[in-house]
Amino acid sequence: IEYNIRYGKLDAASTEIREASKAADMDERIQIFDAGYDTVVGERGLRLSGGEKQRVAIARNILKNPSKQCLLF
């Protein structure tokens, strides 16, 4: 999961990734996974729900720190 979020900013430190995850309200959920931020997701790993996928995408976008963000619900 950490790698997936880091895709938004390849040189991001682990602390930045955790802060973005907290802002996206995903940090607590990630902590529940057996491997935490090292959890493998996808076909050969853990399957995320639709909402979890959205929160990971939001964390990735927060990490990019764009000047403008548009969130549609």
- The predicted-structure confidence for 8-58, as pLDDT tens digits, reads as follows 899 999 999 999 999 999 999 999 999 999 999 988 778 899 999 999 999
Predicted pLDDT of residue 71: 60
**Given this model, what pLDDT does residue 66 score?**
64
Residue 1: predicted pLDDT: 95
Burial class (CB in 10 A: 0-12, 13-18, 19+), 1: buried
pLDDT of residue 8: 86
pTM for the whole thing?
A: 0.84
